[in-house]
């Protein structure tokens, strides 16, 4: 099994119906058909966009395009918050230990 197929299976589940992924890129009128037996899967891209997919074929198409079930984009705001709190803590601690007067 190829790495791409393993990635699809990891994110979308097994292809129990042995569905083939159609060449959707060349069909501008392609419409994904909802599969009532397929549980909706939430996928994320690197920019934090979210899509809910309702069929194995739709899921496989998005996973082939780089989407996945895990959101792994690093949020820089968390880094800024932790850095600010750390610097403030160092300031307060050094002021108490060394009686700095600013």
At 78 the pLDDT is 78
- Select from 28, 34, 5, 32 the least CA-distant residue to 18: 5
Report the chain's mean pLDDT, rounded to a whole number: 86
> HSE-up of 82 (CA within 13 Å, CB side)?
5
Provide the whole-model pTM. 0.66
| pLDDT tens-digit series, residues 43-80 | 999 888 999 999 999 999 999 999 999 876 556 677 88
- Name the residue with tokens 């600013």: 102
Residue 32 and residue 55 in contact, taking contact as beta carbons nearer than 8 Å: yes
| pLDDT tens-digit series, residues 47-56 | 889 999 999 9
């Amino acid at each position: 099994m190829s790495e791409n197929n393993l990635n699809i299976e990891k994110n979308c589940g097994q292809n129990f119906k042995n569905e083939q992924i159609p060449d959707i890129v060349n069909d501008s009128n392609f419409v994904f058909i909802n599969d009532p037996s397929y549980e909706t899967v939430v996928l994320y891209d690197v920019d934090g966009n979210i899509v809910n997919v309702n069929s194995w074929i739709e899921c496989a198409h998005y996973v082939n395009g780089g989407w996945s079930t895990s959101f792994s984009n690093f949020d820089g705001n968390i880094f800024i918050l932790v850095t600010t709190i750390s610097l403030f803590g160092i300031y307060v601690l050094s002021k108490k230990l060394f009686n700095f007067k600013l």
